[in-house]
Chain A
């Protein structure tokens, strides 16, 4: 079996043209991951630039309203650029810089990863090109302008379904054509080895902080950690330091779109099967001939037909649970958190909140749930208004 496996999942299913690039990346990562100087620089960026550690906030009104488990919100939405994506991007940009790369390329769905990459490129004086599905450039017009403001070039992708999956394909194509000066700053715990490991390690700061913050506040571990899952980077980050704590339930919330019994869904674990795509073996939504299915979710960031290989393995082993959450449930949770706590979450994160709303009342008051608020919802306000029938454009 090849490198980078999580059970049967993972691997390096990529064109030969890219093999030396991923080998070079793996070598560099192995050299720097335990290098105290690299870690000092990265921690400096996390704390001074991104505003870490992010708060672990006790949602008192939500807890009282639901009448069950205590609910804590991990506020990744308060990071610079407004989501957890900055954690991974600062790590990869620093690594790319050490490798002598001068140019970053990235895919983006909702635009959060694109904005984070454009930000890191500006900070480090690197060139930046972001690939974004044409459909998503319309859904997230504000983020497109934000990236351009930061000096990045945004390339709308019109192939396939013109969403996140196609942006990943196009970024991979671009990387095969220009590999020597360019680092592909992949935004999730997916793709060929070593990306799933690198991205998870940079995002693991989330669960490291949750653990110590909750020990300080409550003196114990949470009973459940909830996070939304597209490719799965905020969830892997939120789960990682709890994987070896069997008392902690790990729950990934997938985008069910209009429902797992419809074709308009992006719930990979609920509706997919094992396949090989975008560099990895994992679960994918696909037809009987292995054609990748067009998926749908109201959330551009979860609108992806696959899931990271480590999640696939956590599912296979039963260590984590994956549940589908529909558009309608997510939108209700989006509005609920806005009103009850004065926090407007990203529509992606609202998928995890929606499941917390169901789960909390079934738990005891001395139990605790942590929900990862992976991003802030400003970018989604216009889309939610349209969902509710108001003719609002950015």
Chain B
């Protein structure tokens, strides 16, 4: 079993996302410790990319703040290495294909394993292209996380069968960002996943911000992923965001824990 699967054994999972280096790496490290302490089951760390094509305005702006602050992949690796001495919560990187490929895919993935990361999410690498990175992840003991979307009709079974770690269910069409309602038949999507692969946990992301939404999505799946709502806090409070994010994560974990 990978390090990711235990994240789904503490009730329904709450999975926060933050962009590394927004506003700086010291704050990122403090945020990670605070989120782990507040009950986050798995933490998604975004490596900022110059052109994040799957992101809405909130996370795009976080990418700009981080990169203009001078953060680099190597500095993020160093931060995680340091953090891993005391933070045991499973963590995955979320970034774009070229941040891995342009760095050198094997060098990048080997470094992830060495510093204690558990998986990799690349939203611009669909099932058809996963062989570019998945074999290297397997070789170094990382899970390459696959995504399914509301438009994945006819593709869910093959993706679910080959899925590792967990399956990222994109709740809505479009890019990341807070939405007032989610209209996709998430229960139906998750049902198709379960049919094809009963062992892969499903977490729902995109558009979730309130405890009620998170509880509803986690009730239909195995967990909820929240990014933009947290990034709004880092955008608003900057270096002072830690207590706000800690409280938010605690409330969200409580909301999803026993969701059914």
Q: Does residue A13 face the partner (Cβ distance < 8 Å to B)? A: yes
B126 contact from A14, A275, A286, A291, Cβ within 8 A: A14
| Cβ contact within 8 Å between B51 and A165 | yes
| Cβ contact within 8 Å between A292 and B51 | yes
Question: How near does chain A come to B34, taking the closest CB pair, in angstroms?
Answer: 27
A166 contact from B51, B98, B129, Cβ within 8 A: B51
B99, closest chain A residue (CB): A290
| Cβ contact within 8 Å between A20 and B154 | yes
| Cβ contact within 8 Å between A169 and B53 | yes
Q: Does residue A12 face the partner (Cβ distance < 8 Å to B)? A: yes
Residue among A286, A287, A289 with max Cβ neighbours from chain B (10 Å): A289
Chain B residues whose C-beta falls within 8 Å of the C-beta of A284 in the assembled complex: 98, 102
Chain A residues whose C-beta falls within 8 Å of the C-beta of B150 in the assembled complex: 17
Which B115-144 residues have a C-beta within 8 angstroms of A? 123-129, 131-132
Tell me, in angstroms, the Cα distance from A239 to B49 when the chains sit together: 34
A17 contact from B73, B100, B131, B151, Cβ within 8 A: B151
Q: Does residue B97 face the partner (Cβ distance < 8 Å to A)? A: yes
Q: Does residue B170 face the partner (Cβ distance < 8 Å to A)? A: yes
Q: Does residue B218 face the partner (Cβ distance < 8 Å to A)? A: no
Tell me, in angstroms, the Cα distance from A17 to B170 when the chains sit together: 8
Chain B residues whose C-beta falls within 8 Å of the C-beta of A3 in the assembled complex: 128
Chain B residues whose C-beta falls within 8 Å of the C-beta of A1 in the assembled complex: 131
| Cβ contact within 8 Å between B173 and A17 | yes
A276 contact from B50, B74, B98, B174, Cβ within 8 A: B98
Which B144-196 residues have a C-beta within 8 angstroms of A? 146-155, 159, 170, 173-175
Chain B residues whose C-beta falls within 8 Å of the C-beta of A278 in the assembled complex: 53
Tell me, in angstroms, the Cα distance from A15 to B150 when the chains sit together: 12
Chain B residues whose C-beta falls within 8 Å of the C-beta of A15 in the assembled complex: 53-54, 123-124, 126, 147, 149, 170
For the complex, would chain B's binding face be called helix, strand, loop or mixed by DSSP majority? loop
Chain A residues whose C-beta falls within 8 Å of the C-beta of B146 in the assembled complex: 16
Q: Does residue B72 face the partner (Cβ distance < 8 Å to A)? A: yes
Question: How near does chain B come to A107, taking the closest CB pair, in angstroms?
Answer: 12
What mask results when residues 270 to 314 of chain A are scored 1 for a CB within 8 Å of chain B, else 0? 000111111101001011111110000000000000000000000
Q: Does residue A176 face the partner (Cβ distance < 8 Å to B)? A: yes
Tell me, in angstroms, the Cα distance from A16 to B175 when the chains sit together: 12
| Cβ contact within 8 Å between B175 and A290 | no
Known: A1-B131, A16-B146, A289-B103. 17 other contacts (CB 8 A): A12-B128, A12-B129, A16-B126, A16-B151, A17-B151, A17-B170, A19-B127, A19-B128, A165-B51, A176-B175, A177-B173, A286-B102, A288-B103, A290-B73, A290-B101, A290-B102, A291-B98
Instruction: Enumerate the 5 nearest inter-chain pairs by beta-carbon distance, A residue then B residue, closest first.
Output: A290-B102, A177-B174, A17-B149, A276-B97, A290-B98
